[in-house]
């Protein structure tokens, strides 16, 4: 069906839960830690960043003004999860002076992938345009996303709309991105069970694959995956990193020992971890 895989093998390759005993353990932890963040930290919940009902964000300002803002875009194969399970990293980042925004968007099959990509890009444009007016007045915006969220983060970096001002355009306003366990070529995804909700055809898979749309340069990237992931997620990352470097962009390429597709994001705000230290270096945080 694709490369050396028959249909069953390809479906397993694009099933990250095949590498863990129980995915629900991680989903519960996302929700519990995110609820703790809303309980323990200052938060503006449900800030509207676009016209559709799902286009809301939860914003956690740092106490120190003028610092960086990390915008997190959740995964779930474009059809699961929400902003409500996606602010757990704020518990670690906000006390370190990094504001956090958990960005919501509509899901498949209610929306097609082009609409989902547009919603996320629109939300990122709104954040870039309004960051200085948000509490803590962040001066720089960074993106992060996991799995489908990594795909959506890169697609937002390719967005050149938003008017004439550079501050309205994610391709110019975003200072960098941390991409976790991403999918950068949608053609194999189109051939799997995942496509039952997405309904991708060959043209849409091609047009919405970041690998096929890379510009001359991207902002600095950290591209990471867990050691315990399928071969296809490893191949996707390796080929994406190679293509980005060929365009002249700076990339930190990480394979994190003892981490999987679902627990890697817990390291985002933790100093002393490979991912946490790479985020600190990317943002240039002076601690």
What are 38's two structure tokens?
């809303």
Q: Which of 143, 152, 146 is nearest to 180 (CA)?
A: 146
Say which CATH class 7-283 falls into: alpha beta
Residue found under tokens 């991105």: 177
Q: Where are the domains of the chain?
A: 7-283
Looking at residues 111-139, what average pLDDT do you find? Answer: 96
Alpha-carbon torsion, ordered 232, 237, 239, 243, to 10 deg? 160
Q: How would residue 166 be classed by pLDDT, with cut points 50, 70 and 90?
A: very low
pLDDT by residue (tens digit) across 227-285? 999 999 999 999 999 999 999 999 999 999 999 999 999 999 999 999 999 999 999 86
List pLDDT tens digits, range 64-84.
999 999 999 999 999 999 999
Helices (H), 170-269: 170-173, 187-190, 195-198, 202-207, 231-246
The β-bridge partners of 221 are 177, 251
Closest by CA position to 219, among listed 163, 154, 131, 272: 154
Cα angle 254-230-143, degrees, rounded to a multiple of 5: 45
Kind of pairing between the strands at 44-48 and 56-60: antiparallel
Task: Return the pLDDT at 12.
Answer: 98
pLDDT in tens, 204-229: 999 999 999 998 889 999 999 999 99
The pLDDT of residue 286 is: 55
Per-residue pLDDT at 164 exceeds 90: no
Pairing of strands 68-73, 56-60: unpaired
Contact of 67 with 138, CB cutoff 8 Å = yes
User: In this structure, are residues 188 and 165 in contact, taking their beta carbons and an 8 Å threshold?
Assistant: no
Could you tell me the pLDDT band of residue 58, with boundaries at 50, 70 and 90? very high
Residue that is written with structure tokens 């700076």 in the block? 250
Model pLDDT, residue 169: 59
Q: 71 in the Ramachandran plot: left (φ > 0), alpha (ψ -120 to 50) or beta?
A: beta
Would you say 101 and 55 are in contact if contact means Cβ atoms under 8 Å apart? no
Q: Which H or E run includes 140?
A: strand 140-146
């Amino acid at each position: 069906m694709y490369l050396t895989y028959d249909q069953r093998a390809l479906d397993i390759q694009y099933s990250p839960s095949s590498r863990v005993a129980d995915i629900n353990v991680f989903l519960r932890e996302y929700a519990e830690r995110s609820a703790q963040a809303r309980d323990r930290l200052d938060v503006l919940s449900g800030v509207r960043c676009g016209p559709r009902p799902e286009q809301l964000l939860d914003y956690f300002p740092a106490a120190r003004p003028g610092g960086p803002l990390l915008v997190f875009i959740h995964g779930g194969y474009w059809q699961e999860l929400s902003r409500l399970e996606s602010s757990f990293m704020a518990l670690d980042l906000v006390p370190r002076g990094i504001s956090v925004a958990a960005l919501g968007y509509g899901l498949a099959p209610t929306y097609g992938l082009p609409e989902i990509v547009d919603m996320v890009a629109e939300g990122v444009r709104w954040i870039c345009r309004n960051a200085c007016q948000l509490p803590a007045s962040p001066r720089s915006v960074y993106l992060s996303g996991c799995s489908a969220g990594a795909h959506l983060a890169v697609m937002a970096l390719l967005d050149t709309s938003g008017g004439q001002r550079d501050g309205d355009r994610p391709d110019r306003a975003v200072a960098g991105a941390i991409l976790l366990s991403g999918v950068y070529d949608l053609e194999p995804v189109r051939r799997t069970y995942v496509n039952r909700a997405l309904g991708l055809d060959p043209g849409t898979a091609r047009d919405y694959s970041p690998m096929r749309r890379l510009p001359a340069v991207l902002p600095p990237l950290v591209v990471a995956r867990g050691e315990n992931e399928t071969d296809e997620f490893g191949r996707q990352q390796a080929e994406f990193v190679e293509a980005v470097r060929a365009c002249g962009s700076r990339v930190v390429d990480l394979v994190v020992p003892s981490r999987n597709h679902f627990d890697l994001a817990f390291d985002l705000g933790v100093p002393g971890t490979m991912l946490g230290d790479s985020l600190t270096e990317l943002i240039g945080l002076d601690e």
